[in-house]
């Protein structure tokens, strides 16, 4: 058993506000760092002369770590508990951020990917401990609302990050040259130019490493409540693989994270297109704050709405709205194509916490293992953007957004399917 859920009768009757406040800072931190990938993609694409599929290896390396490290992370939480796992995750993230300095000094795209893997490994430990911790930090009936609230702070991080990255990374870099000019450089010239371009990454990520260490110290000194768990009596014969709501939910997490990340990853280059926004990369990157800011607003609103509305219904509505907006962007040009895509962030808002709480509902002592499976499903953020990158290389970036539309279609199916479920299992 990875983590056991508290017995229903022992569940807290009120939410610990102080603990929620501290844990919310962790959601902010990983949201901030995750969104910086959207700034790195166009920057590294330009430095290393990458096509879309190659540039999307940034997200592939980052989100593949969730799959690789999710089960070991669950074991870490089992061995050392929630609080120490959070500290371990933050220190690992700090190490990954610091590795950006040698990656930029060489400069080396594979080393950048290695740094992202270490950063994401720490983030996996953090998510594996923080998400279920928030879910069981108060009454079970308001678990979805609490996760939406903390995810709102995650979105605050993703809203601030594009401004930070645009100013401190893209603006600090020397003016990019055309592909033809870069390819005409000899080996020494190209190496020198890449060093100059990549240097803008050093200071921001070194500073973030220091900030993560400081946050780890703060969490270590903070008195988080210890969650007591009910021990299972006798032999546990149940298995997470018998709970189809959980399994369908893992697929929903996979496609949701994939769609959200694919849209954010492509957005800067999309708005750079002449027929869409015709914006320089630096200006296009700043529009990401509206995409992620919409998710933040939606999560604050969703946290309130979910106190009276069924999670399934709100999830189905939001997924349908997101699918329509992406379709509109694909069929139009200019500002209509831009703003319809930006509005998708608003409707992405409640999807992750909504799917997460629906998927683990009714699992009892299997909650920890179910949470580990859902965190592993975040690997969708690696697979879907990479597939969209391949599509963009073959059919163009404008029509490659068909893939997120299909992802939202599955989430509608999941929400409707779960609505008819009476317990933790779905009917065949």
Report the CATH number of the 13-223+241-419 domain.
1.20.1250.20
Residue written as tokens 């995810």?
151
| Gap between the Cα atoms of 55 and 199, Å rounded | 19
Give the list of residues 6+ apart from residue 255 with CB closer than 8 angstroms, or none.
Answer: 380, 384, 406, 407, 408, 410, 411
At 64-76, the pLDDT tens digits run 998 999 888 878 8
Percent of residues, the chain, with pLDDT higher than 70: 89
Where the chain has pLDDT below 70, the residues are 1-15, 144, 172-179, 227-237, 368, 419-428
* DSSP three-state, residue 174: coil
Report the pLDDT value the prediction gives residue 20, as an integer from 0 to 100. Answer: 87
At 307-346, the pLDDT tens digits run 788 889 999 999 999 999 999 999 999 999 999 999 999 9
Q: Which of 81, 154, 94, 88 is nearest to 348 (CA)?
A: 154
Structural domain boundaries in the chain: 13-223+241-419
At 261-270, the pLDDT tens digits run 999 999 999 9
Considering the entire predicted model, what is its pTM? 0.80
Report the pLDDT value the prediction gives residue 26, as an integer from 0 to 100. Answer: 94
Report the pLDDT value the prediction gives residue 4, as an integer from 0 to 100. Answer: 42
Report the pLDDT value the prediction gives residue 427, as an integer from 0 to 100. Answer: 35
Complete DSSP assignment for 228-260: P-PPPPS-----GGG-HHHHHHHHHHHHHHHHH
| Gap between the Cα atoms of 32 and 165, Å rounded | 10
Report the pLDDT value the prediction gives residue 270, as an integer from 0 to 100. Answer: 95
- Note the helical H segments in 50-108: 52-55, 57-98, 100-105
| Gap between the Cα atoms of 410 and 217, Å rounded | 41
| Gap between the Cα atoms of 344 and 411, Å rounded | 14
CA distances from 100 to 55, 122, 214, 427 (A): 17, 15, 19, 48
Report the pLDDT value the prediction gives residue 142, as an integer from 0 to 100. Answer: 74
CA angle 318, 363, 141 (to 5 degrees): 55
Report the pLDDT value the prediction gives residue 235, as an integer from 0 to 100. Answer: 43
């Amino acid at each position: 058993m990875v983590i056991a859920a508290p017995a229903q009768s022992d569940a807290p009757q009120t939410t610990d506000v102080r603990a929620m406040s501290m844990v919310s800072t962790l959601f902010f931190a990983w949201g901030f760092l995750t969104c910086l990938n959207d700034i790195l993609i166009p920057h590294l694409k330009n430095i290393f002369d990458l096509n879309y599929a190659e540039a999307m290896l940034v997200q592939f390396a980052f989100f593949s770590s969730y799959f690789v490290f999710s089960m070991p992370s669950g074991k870490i939480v089992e061995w050392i508990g929630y609080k120490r796992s959070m500290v371990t995750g933050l220190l690992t993230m700090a190490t990954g951020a610091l590795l950006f300095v040698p990656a930029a000094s060489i400069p080396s795209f594979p080393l950048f990917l290695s740094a992202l893997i270490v950063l994401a490994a720490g983030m996996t430990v953090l998510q594996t401990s923080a998400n279920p911790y928030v879910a069981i930090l108060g009454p079970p009936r308001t678990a979805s609302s609490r996760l939406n609230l903390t995810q709102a702070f995650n979105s605050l991080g993703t809203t601030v990050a594009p401004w930070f990255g645009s100013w401190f990374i893209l603006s600090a870099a020397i003016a990019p040259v055309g592909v033809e000019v870069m390819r005409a450089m000899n080996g020494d010239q190209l190496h020198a130019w890449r060093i100059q371009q990549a240097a803008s990454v050093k200071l921001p990520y070194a500073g973030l490493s220091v900030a993560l260490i400081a946050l780890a110290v703060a969490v270590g000194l903070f008195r988080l409540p210890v969650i007591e768990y009910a021990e299972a009596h006798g032999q546990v014969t149940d298995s997470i693989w018998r709970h189809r709501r959980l399994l369908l939910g893992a697929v929903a997490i996979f496609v949701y994270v994939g769609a959200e990340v694919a849209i954010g990853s492509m957005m800067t280059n999309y708005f750079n297109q002449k027929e869409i926004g015709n914006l320089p990369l630096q200006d296009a990157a700043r529009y990401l704050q509206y995409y992620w800011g919409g998710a933040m607003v939606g999560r604050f609103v969703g946290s309130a709405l979910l106190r009276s509305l069924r999670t399934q219904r709100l999830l189905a509505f939001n997924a349908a709205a997101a699918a329509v907006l992406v379709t509109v962007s694909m069929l139009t040009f200019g500002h209509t194509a831009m703003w319809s895509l930006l509005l998708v962030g608003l409707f992405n808002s409640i999807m992750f916490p909504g799917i997460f709480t629906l998927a683990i509902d009714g699992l009892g002592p299997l909650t920890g293992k179910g949470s580990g499976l859902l965190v592993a499903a975040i690997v969708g953020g690696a697979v879907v953007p990479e597939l969209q990158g391949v599509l963009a290389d073959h059919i163009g970036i404008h029509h490659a957004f068909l893939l997120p539309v299909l992802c939202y279609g599955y989430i509608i199916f999941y929400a409707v399917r779960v609505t008819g479920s009476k317990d933790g299992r779905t009917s065949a």
